Amino acid sequence: MTASPDLGSGAQPALPPLFPFAAIAGQPLLCQALLLAAIDPQLGGVLIEGPRGTAKSTAARALAELIDAAPFVTLPLGASLEHLAGSLDLGQAMAGHALKFAPGLLARAHGGVLYVDEINLLPDALVDVLLDAAASGVNVVERDGISHRHAARFVLVGTMNPEEGQLRPQLLDRLGLCVRLANVEDAAQRQAIVRARLLFDADPAAFRARHADAQAALAAQLRTARERLQPAGALPWSDAVLQAAGALCIAAQVDGLRADLVLLRAARAWAAWLGDAEVRPDHVQAVAELVLVHRRKPGAPHPQPQPQQQSPQQAPSNPPAQSRPPAESTANGAGDSPPSEADWGAMPPEPVGLLRVAVPSLLAREAAKAGAPATKKA
């Protein structure tokens, strides 16, 4: 019989070891989006959509370890608005002292990662407060006779399973980046992911030691990228960059200009991650799908395909291939290029011969007209 832990001793239980971010495989877009949000928290956070077991929570917890002295705060579904934003310190008030602010989860998450599992199930009021603080970096509380504001700069990571409900479009637009995960279908890659997880569960310390160098390199690269964004006017962009961002947003038929602004900030963060001196159109292309996937209107074209599966250390940065124009039909119905996906199953037009039906009464009438002399019309 094992002895139960002494809950009254005041000792904090040891936290389980974290799966290293450098060892995450099979989800390059997820790793890229998290790194971008960590470089520039004012992007507005990351929404991760996908089925169970696709490394959503594992990646979010691993990201906090890459940021220096970063807390990892989880917002439970049953949290109240006061628990999240903070409120009046009732203990101080009842003791007759001056009104004092009691910090909430937003204050605790400052400088770290705020993780919200099943964000689509949270009340809209809490989501609004979350997104306001994530975008501005400041939490403002005006209630219970107090007026207080404090810094709340954190990386917001929200996960959801689309089968359990959707967020309102107004809230989706305010989330900076979005990743839509899918199950890994490649057999070899599935085996590699499962093998890595089994090795980690068997000996976490040895597994973490094996990836310590790669983990340290990622943390250093992230630290450098964050520092490169600090000076005013760092990593400028040209008119060509603005034109590329605007063209992508117009093609996606997004509402408003928030997508353009987020796309430019994300491209700037990606340029900082790569160590480039300025933002280029290929940076915009590399992050466009993360910004537009949840803002694109139904039926709008998808100009950027999914990048190839790569490791987090080499997240995709190549510009996507240009989308293929729709097939144009020739006179005989054959196109020079294959039909688009929207025309799947369409058949080219074919000439059809006309069959003249012989009706005796009509034939006799036509023959009589043909043999009669023409009459002058009045």
Residue 12, SS3? coil
Q: Give the closest residue to 317 by CA, choosing from 241, 266, 260.
A: 266
- Residue 183 and residue 367: Cα distance in Å, rounded? 74
At residue 42's C-alpha, the angle toward residues 37 and 47, to 5°, is 50
- Residue 60 and residue 73: Cα distance in Å, rounded? 11
* CB atoms near residue 278 (< 10 Å): 13
At residue 314's C-alpha, the angle toward residues 312 and 318, to 5°, is 125
Q: Which residues pair with 335 in a beta bridge?
A: 329
Q: Give the closest residue to 240 by CA, choosing from 319, 174, 326, 161.
A: 319
Residue 363, SS3? helix
Q: Which residues pair with 214 in a beta bridge?
A: none
Residue 28, SS3? helix
**Strand order from edge to edge, sheet including 155-160:** 72-75, 113-116, 155-160, 46-49, 177-180
- Residue 170 and residue 168: Cα distance in Å, rounded? 5
Q: Tell me which of 180, 226, 258, 265 is the catalytic residue.
A: 258
8 A C-beta contact, residue 114 and residue 106:
yes
Q: Is 324 a catalytic residue?
A: no
- Residue 74 and residue 77: Cα distance in Å, rounded? 10
- Residue 108 and residue 123: Cα distance in Å, rounded? 21
Task: Classify each residue of 59-92 as buried b or exposed e, where b means 16 or more C-beta atoms within 10 Å of its C-beta.
Answer: bbbbbbbbbeebebbebeeebebebbbbbbbeee
At residue 231's C-alpha, the angle toward residues 230 and 234, to 5°, is 100
**Would you please indicate which residues are annotated as catalytic (active-site) residues?**
258
